[in-house]
Amino acid sequence: MKLLDAHLHFFSRDFFLTLARAAAALRKGEDAYTLLEDAAARGAFELPPHDPIEHLLRWLAEMERHGVDRAVLFASVPEEADAVHAACLDSDDRLIPFTAVDPSRPDGLAFARRVLTELSFRGVLLFPSQHHYRLAGKEGLALLELVEAAGGTVFVHCGILESGLRDLLGLPRPYDMAFANPLDLIPAANRFPRVPIVIPQFGAGLFRETLIAGAQCPNILVDTSGTHGWLQTQPEGLGLEEVFRRVLDVLGAERVLFGSDSNTFPLGWRSDIYRDQAGILERLEVPLEDRHRIFGENLIRILGLKP
């Protein structure tokens, strides 16, 4: 079985510095590097090297150690896109570049056009609740036109959104759940039926809404990424095993992508998440061919990768 990860954050030095500089700008007189080193110490994570290729080599070694064939690699802020582009070029096609885009920014669409056409990114990662727009609004539809023309894929984070680094740096929480509903994706998904739209983390707390959106739109998929702390907000009795059962009943195995949401070291690639989910699918007696789809074949199909 080929193992592909649909949700891996590169978290290069550019990512960390982008947020640290934003924090320093709010706290006049404080140095971004000092704030970042303090956040790393309190958060117990390692800061990556300045050279993205050096960071890439560590991720490739980690993938090799755990038997991960390929992975979608996210630039988690637009400022990280060039580092992710450089890493993917040197990855021997094992890493597939995606980047966060904010289409509500004045330069958002121009940036998206550049990464999708000039840099050959395979798609975009969107955070509507952080940036306060709707996918079916003017900005979102204009972005989907670019993605469709490039033959790309869209990941749209819905539901609960958390950023441990933002909290450690003392950045304000801009999240507005009014923009986080998976049901908002339905008009856009129906307007662009050829664009795969992936909802990470089973909707991160808006699970029922994710199922409804998926039932309405055959181009809406889910990924399985994360540790699923959002389950604590759900009615009693809903566990990850039941989540998988319902998703498979409603969407079918062909619309489920395995993702780990791996991001920092020393944790590295989250093999514990893979083991837990593989165990759940085994207990549910999911046919082997469907497990192959979830853990790799679906991603190969929707991205048009060579097997």
CATH T-level topology, domain 4-303:
TIM Barrel (3.20.20)
For residue range 243-278, list pLDDT tens digits in order.
999 999 999 999 999 999 999 999 999 999 999 999
Q: 304: which residues sit within 8 A by CB, 6+ positions away? A: 151
To the nearest whole percent, how much of the chain has pLDDT over 70? 100
Which residue matches tokens 């090297």? 49
What is the reported pTM? 0.97
Per-residue pLDDT, averaged over 202-208, amounts to: 98
Domain range summary for the chain, segments of one domain joined by +? 4-303
Q: 88: which residues sit within 8 A by CB, 6+ positions away? A: 73, 95, 96, 97
In degrees, rounded to 5, the angle at the alpha carbon of residue 199 between the alpha carbons of residues 228 and 216 is: 125
Cα–Cα distance, 291 to 284 (Å, whole number): 11
Quick check: 28 pLDDT over 90? Answer: no
Cα–Cα distance, 34 to 19 (Å, whole number): 13
Q: How confident is the model at residue 180 (pLDDT cuts 50, 70, 90)?
A: very high
